Amino acid sequence: MPVSTTSTNRLNKLFAEKNQNLLSIYFTAGYPALNSTLDIAEALEKAGADFLEVGFPYSDPVADGPTIQHSSQTALDSGMNLKVLFEQLSDLRKRITIPILLMGYVNPIVQYGVEAFCKKAAEVGVDGIIVPDLPMYEYESLYRKHFEDNNLSNIFLVTPQTSEERIRKIDDLSNSFIYLLSSSSITGGKLNLTNSIEEYYKRIKGMELNNPTIIGFGISDSTSFNKACQYANGAIVGSAFVKLLGEDNYLDKIPAFVESIKP
């Protein structure tokens, strides 16, 4: 049975209870080991992450830099796909209480079947989906019903080049938060707060949107995290954490990593 669209999911509850200095961590499902997904998620929750983005790998990750591309290829080589991921996530809510989003490209979702994907995501306890290459008009005209019927938030991305008209439209279509890209480049770069980027953040903040905003791309340490939180409700760390997962004893290093971002 689909979930009522009037339900409040974990993301909504999180933003209602705490709307500043929120830390989200991204990592790729199936990396560094095929069955590491829930162990990493559990360690991140215990270390103090506020919500998580679990990437499902794709063979042509056009928006990702070398670190996340490498993690995706490693996961694919190990046998990760959406079917395997959903099997792993069947125990998600026995171990994890914080909000979980899935992030990936539209092609694997369409191959799986959008309606089936949304139902399965809701069934295992996922709260939202981020699909960078899903056109807004396709979401609105073809897929919105499947997301809403299953109480899944669709997270839209905004770049410095996004027009105010489009941002307002995204705000109307959103029901949890809006993902602000710090630039139009690939993941894994540094957050260089040039005057134009600061103006972009100030412009978004001045629009007084209905939805909270979270900044991603280039957040790698406490300095960039704190700077991003001056303009948004929180920030997302991706490549810097995925690099850590390539080290020995990575689970033991997670608490110190999270504390280095958000003491």
Q: What is the largest CA-CA distance in the chain?
A: 50
Distance from C-alpha of 102 to C-alpha of 87, rounded to nearest angstrom? 14
- Residue 28: its H or E element: strand 22-28
Mark 143-177 as b/e (b = at least 16 C-beta within 10 Å): beebbbbbbbbbbbbbebebeeeebebbbeebbbb
DSSP bridge pairs for 153: 128
Residue 227 DSSP SS3: helix
DSSP bridge pairs for 213: 178
83: left (phi over 0), alpha (psi -120 to 50) or beta: alpha
- Point out the residues that are catalytic: 53, 64
Preceding amide of 108 cis, omega within 30: no
Distance from C-alpha of 196 to C-alpha of 179, rounded to nearest angstrom? 18
Helix, strand, coil % over all residues of the chain, rounded to 5: 50, 15, 35
Distance from C-alpha of 164 to C-alpha of 11, rounded to nearest angstrom? 25
